[in-house]
């Protein structure tokens, strides 16, 4: 499971897909492709985007659902919690302390 997660995150295009899904969850493959090409200048084929989504889905970061005859992709950031559970982040500094 952890390997799937790190593999999924180890690719810039897949991280960009997560960024776009974070802005708006519930996108069709068409919308994801439109965002990658027009906003990020990524000229990758629909098939390649579909393969990236399969990797993200295997890691649990993307979930798909059907509504009518359409397939939508939702972001699920829950698996990321495993990273901070394994290597806890330092506590957030108290803003009052930092002014000293």
Partner 1 sequence: MKIHLTSVLVDDQAAALHFYTEVLGFLKKHDVPLGEQDRWLTVVSPEEPGGTELLLEPARHPAARTYRDALVEDGIPLAQFTVDDVAAEYERLSALGVRFTQKPLETGPVTTAVLDDTCGNLIQIASRPR
Q: Which two tokens stand for residue 23?
A: 């802005």
How many residues of this chain interact with partner 1, rule: CB under 8 A? 16
Length of the chain counted residue by residue:
100
Q: How far is CA 82 from CA 24, 71, 85, 87, 95, in A?
A: 23, 28, 5, 9, 27
Distance CA(36)–CA(49), nearest Å, equals 9
Judged by CB under 8 A, the stretch of 7-15, 69-77, 79-87, 88-96 that binds partner 1 is 69-77
Q: Which is nearer to partner 1, 5 or 56 (CB)?
A: 56
Which residue do the tokens 């994801």 mark? 32
User: Which member of 24, 54, 65, 78 binds partner 1 (CB under 8 A)?
Assistant: 24
For residue 57, state whether it binds partner 1 (rule: CB under 8 A): no
Residue 75: name the closest of 55, 50, 57 by CA.
57
- Shortest Å, Cβ 12 to partner 1: 20
Q: Which is nearer to partner 1, 22 or 78 (CB)?
A: 22
For residue 56, state whether it binds partner 1 (rule: CB under 8 A): no
């Amino acid at each position: 499971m952890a390997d799937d997660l790190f593999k999924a995150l180890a690719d810039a295009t897949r991280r960009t897909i997560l960024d776009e899904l974070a802005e708006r969850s519930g996108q069709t493959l068409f919308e994801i492709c439109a965002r990658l090409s027009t906003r990020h200048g990524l000229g990758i084929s629909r098939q390649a985007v579909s393969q990236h989504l399969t990797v993200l889905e295997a890691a649990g970061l993307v979930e798909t659902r059907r509504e009518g005859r359409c397939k939508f992709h939702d972001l699920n950031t829950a698996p990321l919690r495993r990273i901070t559970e394994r290597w806890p982040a330092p506590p957030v500094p108290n803003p009052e302390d930092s002014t000293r």
